[in-house]
Structure 1
Amino acid sequence: MVGVDIGSVARGRFAWAAIDAPAPSLAGQGSDPETAVRALAERLAAGGRAALVLEAPMSVPVPAADRADGWAALGRARTGEGNRAWSAGAGAGALATGIAQAGWLLARLAGTVPGVRATTRPDRWAAPHGPRLLLAEALVSGAGKPVPTAGDPHAADAEAAARALTERLPALPRIATDVECAPHGSLNLLAAAALWAGLDLPDDELRTDVLVLRARPAPRRPA
């Protein structure tokens, strides 16, 4: 499982961490998108399953357009976000950066491991002969922020994102999402990025929710 803390590459705010499963041990980490792709590619090239979990809003609610006053709900928080709305300042900034970085990561992965099948649905990922790459979102904020460490806080956030999925694996094939676009429709930005990148992903997922995992604090490791 590769978790990514979305942030400015130029300012050193991008980080990734890989967690092995089922044993939740740290398998690698880095601070650039290329090495994040390599970590995913190694797993996929060996015939295994992999997951990419991004810490940025990866779906947005779109009210039904069959009513003239539907626009009144535009920009509202997703169900389960609380006061951390995707459309607020920090969320909107992470969304914009996340779309560009997700597009690059997935396009690079598609070129590195041709023919990869992907999904944003854990039930499809868990199915026999199903897609081997799961794309998901982590919410690392508030109580889910990692414990203070002497190391890089961006690396800690990336690790927390990867662990958020690893901890839920026993619930497969039906991992419950912590955030959803309901009662509105979902514009699945991860699915759109994957299709743009050339990955094999069912286009019906453009309108389904992204799996959103609220992270728990990462365990403290000795300095």
Structure 2
Amino acid sequence: MEARVVGVDVGSVALGRFAWAALDAPALSLTGQGTDPESAVRALAAALTSGGRAALVLEAPMSVPVPVTDRADGWQALGRARTGEGNRPWSAGAGAGVLATGVAQAAWMLGRVVDAVPGVAATTRPDRWTAAHGPRLLLTEALVSGAGKPVPTEAGPHAADAEAAARILAERLPRLPALASDVNCAPHRPFNLLAAAALWAGLDIPRDELHQDVLVLVARPAAQGDAGRR
């Protein structure tokens, strides 16, 4: 599948902790990098305006589990980690901080996508993205932490994380739509923050995705020698 994948390392813009990287599949070639959200949008828009497919991968929690509301004691599960997060839950200090920043940055970037590519349709579901005549913009999440952290590149650690986020999805595109998410909200209901941001921005996205999981891919430890090829 041919597609442009833009990975974003969510972080403070003011403190220089935001970075993005774009890879084109199937060649997996790095086609661009940057340190501001506007240039990230331009990288996405370049693929979409030419009629191609694109994917935005945010390195921030983009779905949260909401316990059942038909039980009086459901509140006791509020803030629990998602299945697959291990010891880095979305609700912990670092996770909660990047979640808040990520929601704002996602909403802004998707709003700019609407301005740049009017009428473009989006989805958080790989099966809809890969379908014939389906939405051309896929919205996903990456988890780049722990053993999966890449070796910093000359552009710095944030650029390396952004490239790792893009590469996680770009390398696994041939397995879509059957590729299973590494993290999900089960047994609780998902609150899809990417779908909410897309709706807020005015993107054409099905409202039923508000209650569906986001595809989350976890970075794995780099194979020996991979760092030297970056």
Sort the TM-score into its range (normalised by shorter chain).
Answer: over 0.9
Contact 2:65 2:185 (8 Å CA) reproduced: yes
Name the aligned partner's letter for residue 53 of structure 2.
R
* Deviation per residue, 1:30-57 (Å, 9 max, x gap): 0000000000000000000000000000
SS at match of 2:160: helix
Unaligned runs of 5+ in 1: none
Give TM-score, length-normalised by structure 1.
0.97
Tell me by how many angstroms 1:25 deviates.
1.3
Tell me by how many angstroms 1:217 deviates.
5.0
Name the aligned partner's letter for residue 163 of structure 2.
E
Query: What does residue 164 of structure 2 align with?
Result: 160
Query: What does residue 190 of structure 1 align with?
Result: 194
Query: What does residue 62 of structure 2 align with?
Result: 58
Query: What does residue 220 of structure 1 align with?
Result: 227
Q: Does 1:70 pair with 2:70?
A: no
* Deviation per residue, 1:71-107 (Å, 9 max, x gap): 0000000000000000000000000000000000000
Name the aligned partner's letter for residue 215 of structure 1.
A
Unaligned runs of 5+ in 2: none
The aligned runs of 1:38-57 (5 Å cut-off) are 38-57=42-61
Structure 2 CA distance, aligned partners of 1:93 and 1:80?
Answer: 19
Q: Does 1:149 pair with 2:153?
A: yes
From 157, 177, 183, give the equivalent of 1:173: 177
Query: What does residue 96 of structure 2 align with?
Result: 92
Contact 1:33 1:105 (8 Å CA) reproduced: yes
Q: Does 1:33 pair with 2:29?
A: no
Tell me by how many angstroms 1:143 deviates.
1.4
Give TM-score, length-normalised by structure 2.
0.94
From 91, 102, 109, give the equivalent of 2:106: 102
Name the aligned partner's letter for residue 168 of structure 2.
A
Number of matched pairs: 223
Tell me by how many angstroms 1:214 deviates.
0.5
